[in-house]
Structure 1
Amino acid sequence: MKIAVIGTGALGGTFATLLVRAGHDVTVTARGAGLAAIRADGIRLTGGFGEAHARPVALERLLETPDLTLVCTKAQDAAAAISDNAAVLDGSPVIVVQNGLDGVATAARLLPRSECFGALSIIAANYTAPGRVNITTPAPTYLGRGSGAADAEAAGWRDVLAEAVPTRVIDNFVGAQWTKLVVNMLNSLPAITGRSVQEVVDHPGLRRVMTASMRETVRVGMARGMRFGALQGLGDVRLRLFSRLPLSLGQVLPRMMRARMGDVPNLGSTLQSLTRGQRTEIDYLNGAVVREAGLAGLAAPVNALLTALVHEVEEWGTALTPGEVCSRFATLVLR
């Protein structure tokens, strides 16, 4: 099958390489150093899915219509990347592999003749250099669309992706996006402190702030009338229970996530963006919680401050110490 992968960062590089290994004809889009590296030596994958080396066709933009396209850009780059390739994509099926809440809707708006699906990947991957990706935690990818039951088309694309990477089709994909948003609260504090996710969760003060951001996210989702989708052992019942727990007990949630990661340092996608000197997608993670809270007539002070601190590190290029971070939250009541 002819498959295009738009965006070849950590996840895009992973999917492209594994799809080539599964026997598909893969074309990727990239720019700058990434494009040059892939053209020179392909993509090399190490870690949890084994070692693999793929040489997909690498272009700045697609030249022909593929059978399937995966959009694997950062959330803030999705609209521009889809628009750049819309002439050949509109009418062809698209799967948006992305954090945040807006990816599938963005694709559907820009590609009105295409069937658009979403994929939530729990894979932890470090982009170590252009064309180089290390998988620190292999995990499934969850595929679907809408808020109802998974349909036959989604199941068909699940079968295609499952040839390359563990993939499951899920009901209530929109609700699962919210569940993934809770999981993505792992990202901001590593970016702010320059530490791995494991180090952040192991620090009592930082773990308390992380738990507060997760709980606030669940409460905002509930205020927006969301029924959380099932993802990695989390779902509506567990998250609603978590929303009522004091922080001292709620810290079991980030601890559970940390246990699944193992001990290979997980840097988180937001910290990786900062390390590469790129804009982060924080406005589509913690920032999305703030926007959704506003729509519900609420405030989201924990996520608002985390968003501001990531932007501060983006601007100044200097990480904050755990003590500095905890002091910034001292005026908020975290209990």
Structure 2
Amino acid sequence: MRIAVIGAGAVGGLVAALAARAGHEVLVTARGEHAASIAAAGLLVDGGWGEWVAAVELVESIPNRPIDLLILATKAHDSAQAIAPWATHDGTPVLVLQNGLGGEDAVRDALPRSPIAIGLALFAVSLTGPGHITVTGPNGLTLGGDSAAVAVAEPLLREALPADIVLAENIRGAQWTKLLINQVNALPAITGLSVQQTIAHPGLRGVIARAMVETVAVGTAVGARWGRIGAVDAEAIARVRAGGAAAAAELAEHLAAGMGDVPNPASMLQSIRRGRMTEVDAINGVVVDYGTSLGVAAPVNAALVGLVRKAQSGDPPLTPAQALARIPAPS
């Protein structure tokens, strides 16, 4: 297959490298020093799935060659700008591989004839340096969406990823569950701590728990049919709905335990460290926006959005005490 990965950062770059290792022709887009390193020496991958250098082709303009699968792996807020130039490939199946909501809408606007699959990655991966990707959590991926796109993406992913690929009939519900899991993402960007460190801190764990409770309340008001992501399923959501912050804190601790001992910086902190915008608006911001439209309060998520925006504007990391002082206390 010939695959084009739009946005070969941590997640996109890993999938590109895995596909290349499986023998596929892989084109990628990237920026800055990362792009220069890929062009010069390929993609170095190490960590949980072994070590190898993948030969991929860096493209700076849209290729005229036929492509079997487009993979959109930019941050969600970059989706529209990133996918628009690929309109000449309208009709080509697309796999959207992002955190948060909204990427598939940008694809439908730009490529209305393209079937769209959605991939929800559970593996943890870091962009360790230019052209260097490290797998810190070798977990699986949930896949769903348009059947025509899934039919192309699924065989590739099963061949390339050394992990479980789970098909979801209810991919929108699974997206909401992933949104809940991603409530662990903002505090590392604010504090500079790993996900495991934030969850280990009682006060910060309480913030994550209350953000999760808000996400469940908003998702329930939206009518989300919560889908399974890893070990988090509708029963886990029901426990959070019934047990509130205490049950959500237990869920957060369970997530941290599943990440192992390698510090997970989370994608937002990685963006901060690289001087890039984060995906906070597509994660916490979505909860606030939906909540506002439905009359469901989400003050913790709103506070997290504001603090992450300050961090991405250059404010220094906050200590846990400073972060807690800036987030609404439990009522």
Counterpart residue number, 1:283: 281
Which AA in structure 2 matches 1:75?
A
Percent identity, please: 43
Cα deviation digits, residues 276-321 of structure 1 (max 9, x gap): 0111111111001001111212221010000001111122330100
2:71 is equivalent to residue 52 of structure 1: no
Cα distance change on mapping 1:31 and 1:315 into 2, 3 Å: closer
**Cα deviation, residue 153, structure 1:** 5.1
- Equivalent position SS for 1:316: coil
Displacement of 1:4 after TM fit? 0.8
1:73 aligns with 2:70: no
The whole-number CA distance in structure 2 between the counterparts of 1:109 and 1:45 is 34
Q: 2: distance between equivalents of 1:249 and 1:35?
A: 43
Correspondence for 2:159:
163
Equivalent positions of 1:76-155 (< 5 A) are: 76-87=77-88, 89-145=89-145, 151=147, 154-155=150-151
Q: In the alignment, which residue of structure 1 is the partner of 2:330?
A: 333
Paired position in structure 1 for 2:61: 61
**Which 5+ residue runs of structure 1 have no aligned equivalent?**
none
Deviation for aligned residue 1:248: 3.0
Matched AA of 2:204: L
Q: Which residue of 2 aligns with 1:3?
A: 3
The one-letter code of the counterpart of 1:90 is D
Q: CA deviation at 1:104?
A: 1.5
Give the 3-state SS of the residue equivalent to 1:133 in structure 2: strand
Match of 2:18 in 1: 18
Mapped contact 2:87–2:111 kept (Cα < 8 A): yes
Whether contact under 8 Å (1:158, 1:168) holds in the other structure is no
Asked if the contact 1:29–1:62 (Cα under 8 Å) also holds between the matched residues in 2, the reply is no
Count, aligned residues: 328
* Structural RMSD (CA): 1.4
Instruction: Give the 3-state SS of the residue equivalent to 1:28 in structure 2.
Output: strand
Question: Are residues 152 and 82 of structure 1, via their aligned partners in 2, closer, same or farther at CA, if it must alter by over 3 Å?
Answer: closer
**Are the counterparts in 2 of residues 124 and 135 from structure 1 also a CA contact under 8 Å?**
yes
- Report if the CA contact (8 A) 1:155-1:169 is conserved: no
Which amino acid in structure 2 is aligned with residue 253 of structure 1? L
Contact 2:209 2:246 in 1 (8 A): no
Deviations 1:75-134 (A, max 9, x none): 1111111002222x2111000001111112221121011111111001110101121000
CA contact (8 A) 2:14 2:133 kept: yes
Quote the Cα distance in structure 1 between the aligned partners of 2:181 and 2:255. Answer: 8
DSSP-derived class of the 1:62 partner: coil
Inter-CA distance 93–249: structure 2 relative to 1 (3 Å threshold): closer
Greater CA drift, 121-130 or 240-249: 240-249
Report if aligned partners of 2:94, 2:116 keep a CA contact under 8 Å in 1. Answer: yes
For 2:143, the aligned partner's letter is: L
Q: SS of the counterpart of 2:85?
A: helix
State whether residues 195 and 266 of structure 2, in contact with CA within 8 Å, keep that contact through their aligned partners in structure 1.
Answer: yes
Cα distance, 1:152 vs structure 2: 6.7
Distance, in Å, in 2 between the alignment partners of 1:316 and 1:56 is 33
With the length of structure 1 as denominator, give the TM-score of the two structures: 0.95
Establish whether residue 295 from structure 1 lines up as the match of residue 293 from structure 2. Answer: yes
Counterpart Cα distance in 2 of 1:18 and 1:153: 19
Map of 2:235 onto structure 1: 237
> Does residue 225 of structure 1 match 2:223?
yes
- Shift of the alpha carbon at 1:226? 1.0
The DSSP-based 3-state class of the residue aligned with 1:265 is coil
**Letter in structure 2 aligned against 1:160:** L
Secondary structure, aligned partner of 1:45: strand
| TM-score relative to the length of structure 2 | 0.96
2: distance between equivalents of 1:315 and 1:39?
A: 30
Counterparts of 1:177-326 in structure 2 under 5 Å? 177-326=175-324
- Letter aligned with residue 77 of structure 1: D
1:20-53 superposed Cα distances (whole Å, 9 cap, x missing partner): 0011011111222222111100000000111121
245-254 or 313-322, larger mean C-alpha shift: 245-254
Amino acid aligned to 2:213 = R
The residue type paired with residue 300 of structure 1 is A
Asked if 2 retains the 8 angstrom alpha-carbon contact of 1:228 and 1:236, the reply is yes
